[in-house]
Each structure stands twice: as C-alpha cells, then as structure tokens.
A and B are shown apart, each in its own frame.
Chain A
Amino acid sequence: MTRPSSPGGSFTGEHLLRELAPQVLGAIVRRFGDFSAAEDAVQEALLAASLQWPAEGLPDNPRGWLIQVAARRMTDHLRAELARRRREAVVVMQAPEQVSVPPEGGSYADAGQDDTLILLFMCCHPALSRPSAIALTLRAVGGLTTAEIANAFLVPETTMAQRISRAKQTIKSSGVPFRMPDEEERRRRLGAVLHILYLIFNEGYASSIGPALQRSDLSNEAIRLTRAVHHLLPDDGEVGGLLALMLLTDARRAARTGADGELVPLTEQDRTLWDRPAIAEGVALISRTLSKGSIGLYQLQAAIAAVHDEAPRADDTDWPQILALYGLLERMTDNPMVLLSHAVAAAMVHGPTAGLKLLESLDADGRLAGHHRMDAVRAHLLEMAGDHDGAIAHYRAAAERTTSVPERNYLITRAARLRNGDH
C-alpha cells in the first residue's frame, strides 16, 4: 500500500489528513466500540482520501467525509462478521452473538480534540512493549500507513503489520475503555506518552544521517504530535518542556552532519545553519514553562539545549549555567548518563581534571562499566588534557563498542586525527 504522495510531499491535504486521523478514529471508536476494527476502517478511509482528494478536490467537510467513509467500512465489516458467525453457528448449532450494526448516517457527537489524547493514552499503554507502542501511536494517532512506519524502522511491511495487529490485540484483551482516564491515572499515563513521543523523536533525529535520511520524518511527526498534546494541555510544564527540547534539538539538524554524512560535534558545528525560528520558538516556550514552577526532567534538558542554542559561537557557551543545570538534573534522576554529561560540563568550567575526577566516581558506580559513552567522554577529556595516547586508546575502545555506524566512524576518525598530530 503506497500513497500517491509521501509525507511532506506536494499534496496539501496530507497535513489535514494527519490532523484529522485521530479525530476520525475517536468518533468511530466511540460509535462502534472495537478499537482494532475501527483503526483498520480509518486507515482505509485515509487511503481513499489520499487517492481521491488530490484529483477531485477537498470535500466541504473533510472530517465528515472521512467519518462517513470509515463508518461505511465499519458497517461492512460488522455485517460480514455477523454473516460469518451465522455460518459458523449453523455448523456448531448455536445462536449467533448479537452484533449491532448501527444505521447509516446517524449523528456523531463532536468529542473535540480530547480524542487525540485518549488515543495517545491507549497507544502508549504500559502493557505494550516500546516498539509496539511506537508503531501503534504512529498509525492510530499519527495517521501514517503501515508501509511508511515499516520504512522508517527499516523492517519488512508484513513484520510491522503484525506488530501493529498484535499491539491492538493487547489493547483489546487489556480491556482499556475508550475514555479519558481520571486525573491521577492521567498524570501517570502522561509520562508514558511523553516517553514514547521522545523515543519517536530521537529515532528520527539521531538517524537523520546518510542513507537513513528519510527517517527524519519521524522527528517531524514527533514534534507535530507533541505540539498537539501541548495544545491540549498548555499548562503542563513537562509537555511544554518536551516540545521545547525537540524544537531546540531539531534546530541543529542541518549542522550536525558534514558533507559526507559524518557527525559534527556541537562545538564544531556551523551555527549559521541552525534553524533560528525554531530556536526562538523553543527558547520562548521553555522560558514561559520554567517561570510557572514545578520543574521536570524534560524542562531541564530543554533549558540546557537553549543555553547551547543561544551561544553565537561555541566559545560563547555559558558553561557555568549548563553545569548548574546538570547539577539540578542530577538531583532529580540517578540516570548515570546525566552524570556523564555533568562531567563534560565540569571539564568545560573547571578544566579536564575536574571532569576526569567525576568519571572516577562513575567507574566506582559501575552501571556504565563497558559502555561506549563512558570511553568516548573519557577520550574527549583526555584529549583536552593533552594526553593523546590515552585519548586514542579510549576513542578506539568506544568505537569497538558502539552499535551506531556514524558514531563509530566519528570515533575512529577522531583517534586517527590525534595519531596524525592533526588537530
């Protein structure tokens, strides 16, 4: 199944379709129940729209059009289901279960955009594995086709189709009702939603390099979905924080790879390539969010990204402020990766010895033992300290352990540069 226009393509209705997908799905699930079948029916309606609208023009009421087509598919599906059960019933001599087929037409209460949020809570359900939650979110809320999602994750379409269908099965058997969870549950589940959106963003952002360039669509999709959540929950600091973090990180995308797709470290990026409007939006957003109190992890990471993005040159970076922010972050989480970044900031403020000393405490901690990031950071700090042999050894150790091709290439190049005395 391919669409005539790819995401970001020329068809202007594409954005509208993505926007409407969760609203239409919400309306159908509300009316018919059966999330799994409703999701299939909505996919078919979206496909029909992407084929017909470019040729015939947008209908007057695109949302109504989609709901009507999806409802018709749904009715067909239920009738077929009913007929199948009747046939089986003849064989096993038992009465068919009641399957209600709603009449054509009918009214759909406009549940508004809350449906997007309810769907996100469903798709990011804790019962699902992360890959399943990601796939289901992109399809049911993002309106992407299975082929598009499979392509983004470089797996066969049949595999992705199975993953999605299994995810829907899990939701079905977990018996999650299609309604907004109560206040307390909502707070808890929002964390899972933000985490999945963050993973989608990261997958797209981090792999928008070289041959995997098309995957950058995933970060756009994550930003779009997070924007939608922010629109629905404008007062939630962490939602605003995550959106700001995405904008401020994505703003550097054009500068973070060189001509041959090689990684360019933050300190060496051509900052004229940074997306200024995105930075301005991200900075404004995080400033607004932080002033409201109740600071969270995404907000702090966004604040750090903002400090980087606001420096006209790498040398202008306000490292003392970044160091202070890492200090705050460290008090909120015991993630050893935060300590690692903290060590880099400490080295930038107090010199490489201070950073290396912090790494020693991480050695003792043991959780990052053998992790390539540990070696990579140590290599950088040793290079700063002028210990080139030590740096080369740790760059190589990191290169042997990373599972990312661009990162491995960056690390071995870095080591080679030191060997040649060319730095």
Chain B
Amino acid sequence: MKYMLMMHAPRAGWEKAGIGTWPMEDIKAHIGFMKTFAKELSEAGELVGAEGLAGPEQARVVRARKDGTPEVTDGPFAEAKEFLAGYWIVDCESTDRAYAIAARASAAPGKGGVPLNMPIEVREVMSAPPVEV
C-alpha cells in the first residue's frame, strides 16, 4: 500500500526559529538525518519518492481567470497556520508500518538536537485494487 507522508511546518515563528536560524552543527545534523532516513527507506525497498519544498516565501497560489489565464497571488493560503515543507511517498506492507516511518520523520533533530516532533500527515494513496462489484 502506498502512503503520502506530508511534513507540515508551523508558519508562525518560521522566520525567527526556522532551520535558517539554527547553529551550523544542528543544521548539519538535521540534513544528515534526512539523508540517512531516505537511504534507509530506499534500502528497505519502500521509497517511491520524496521531495523537500522551497520555503513558503516563494509559494504562490494560482487560480484560473474566466478566460483560463493564470491569476497568481502570494501564497500559501493566508488562513493556513502550517505549510507543507516536504513529503515522502512510501510503499509499505501495512498502515502500522507507515505510521512507524512517519514517527521517525517526526522525530528529526532540530535546534540543539532536540526532536522537532513535527506533525506528519499520513494519507493513503488511492491505489488499492477494487473488489468485485
């Protein structure tokens, strides 16, 4: 079964407490963790894809105008308290395994090596075979 694991970062305090404000060794530890984590998933034969997304400052929201041309506004959505920082798509045997992977991602080291405990949204990808109807 395939799952998308979405890492949400809090929008409030991003500029003052985001990864860009951490000491060098903490940043290195965080990046090192993410690399090892991806390698582990890949070696387990569970990694389908993963991407980190550029910061929310660069996010734009696009809507189609009546004539179909893009109307671009600054994003992410103003009302959102969190933004999507990155995601993994994993193919694993059970929901429990997907939760275990998500928990590991959530515990990525932050400032001072303290686990970030980021909320990871786990969503099943619509890929199950349908049953006889």
Residues on A close to B: CB < 8 A? 129-132, 135, 153-156, 158-164, 166-167, 202-203, 205-207, 209, 263, 265-266, 373, 376, 402-408, 410
Are A155 and B124 within 8 A (Cβ)?
no
Query: Assuming the A-B contacts A131-B93, A153-B91, A403-B124, are A159 and B129 also in contact, with contact meaning beta carbons closer than 8 angstroms in the complex?
Result: no
Are A162 and B124 within 8 A (Cβ)?
no
A263 contacts across to B, CB distance below 8 A: 130, 133
Are A265 and B49 within 8 A (Cβ)?
no
A163 to B44, CA, bound (A): 6
A154 to B92, CA, bound (A): 13
Interface residues on B, range: 20 to 34
Query: Assuming the A-B contacts A129-B93, A153-B91, are A159 and B130 also in contact, with contact meaning beta carbons closer than 8 angstroms in the complex?
Result: no
B48 at the interface (CB under 8 A from A): yes
Which one, A158, A203, A266, contacts B129 given CB within 8 A? A203
A129 to B125, CA, bound (A): 20
Query: Assuming the A-B contacts A129-B93, A162-B43, A402-B128, are A407 and B133 also in contact, with contact meaning beta carbons closer than 8 angstroms in the complex?
Result: yes
A373 to B131, CA, bound (A): 9
B42 at the interface (CB under 8 A from A): yes
Are A159 and B47 within 8 A (Cβ)?
yes
Which one, B48, B128, B133, contacts A155 given CB within 8 A? B48
Residues of chain B in range 94-133 having any CB-CB distance to chain A below 8 Å? 124-133
A166 contacts across to B, CB distance below 8 A: 43-45
Query: Assuming the A-B contacts A162-B44, A163-B45, A403-B124, are A155 and B130 also in contact, with contact meaning beta carbons closer than 8 angstroms in the complex?
Result: no
Which one, B1, B49, B126, contacts A156 given CB within 8 A? B49
A132 to B133, CA, bound (A): 29
A402 contacts across to B, CB distance below 8 A: 128, 130
B48 contacts across to A, CB distance below 8 A: 154-156, 159
Are B130 and A407 within 8 A (Cβ)?
yes
Quick one: closest A residue to B1, CB to CB? A403
B26 at the interface (CB under 8 A from A): no
A160 to B124, CA, bound (A): 20
Query: Assuming the A-B contacts A159-B46, A206-B131, A407-B131, are A130 and B93 also in contact, with contact meaning beta carbons closer than 8 angstroms in the complex?
Result: yes
Are A265 and B133 within 8 A (Cβ)?
yes
A100 to B131, CA, bound (A): 52
Task: Give, as a whole number of angstroms, the nearest-CB distance from A155 to chain B.
Answer: 5
Quick one: closest B residue to A135, CB to CB? B45
A205 contacts across to B, CB distance below 8 A: 129
A404 contacts across to B, CB distance below 8 A: 126-131
A408 to B130, CA, bound (A): 9
Beyond contacts A155-B91, A206-B130: 8 other A-B pairs, Cβ-Cβ < 8 A, are A131-B45, A161-B45, A263-B133, A402-B128, A403-B1, A403-B124, A403-B127, A404-B131
A406 to B1, CA, bound (A): 16
A417 to B125, CA, bound (A): 27
A403 contacts across to B, CB distance below 8 A: 1, 124-128
A402 to B127, CA, bound (A): 10
Are A405 and B43 within 8 A (Cβ)?
no
Lowest 7 A-B CB distances belong to which pairs? A163-B45, A206-B129, A407-B130, A404-B130, A403-B128, A162-B45, A404-B128
Task: Give, as a whole number of angstroms, the nearest-CB distance from A198 to chain B.
Answer: 12
A130 to B92, CA, bound (A): 10
B131 contacts across to A, CB distance below 8 A: 206, 373, 404, 407
A130 to B1, CA, bound (A): 11
Task: Give, as a whole number of angstroms, the nearest-CB distance from B75 to chain A.
Answer: 28
Quick one: closest B residue to A164, CB to CB? B45
A203 contacts across to B, CB distance below 8 A: 129
A406 contacts across to B, CB distance below 8 A: 130
Are A376 and B129 within 8 A (Cβ)?
no
A407 contacts across to B, CB distance below 8 A: 130-131, 133
Are B129 and A202 within 8 A (Cβ)?
yes
Which one, B45, B93, B125, B129, contacts A207 given CB within 8 A? B129
Quick one: closest A residue to B48, CB to CB? A155
Quick one: closest A residue to B125, CB to CB? A403
Task: Give, as a whole number of angstroms, the nearest-CB distance from B86 to chain A.
Answer: 18
Q: What are 12 A-to-B residue pairs whose CB atoms are below 8 Å?
A: A131-B92, A154-B48, A158-B42, A159-B47, A163-B44, A164-B45, A166-B43, A203-B129, A263-B133, A404-B130, A407-B131, A410-B133
A266 contacts across to B, CB distance below 8 A: 132-133
Are B124 and A159 within 8 A (Cβ)?
no
Which one, A158, A265, A408, contacts B126 given CB within 8 A? A408
A161 contacts across to B, CB distance below 8 A: 45
Quick one: closest A residue to B41, CB to CB? A159
A265 to B130, CA, bound (A): 12
Task: Give, as a whole number of angstroms, the nearest-CB distance from B95 to chain A.
Answer: 11
A410 to B45, CA, bound (A): 33
Task: Give, as a whole number of angstroms, the nearest-CB distance from A64 to chain B.
Answer: 34
Task: Give, as a whole number of angstroms, the nearest-CB distance from A204 to chain B.
Answer: 9
A297 to B129, CA, bound (A): 21
A407 to B128, CA, bound (A): 9
Are B133 and A159 within 8 A (Cβ)?
no
Are A410 and B130 within 8 A (Cβ)?
yes
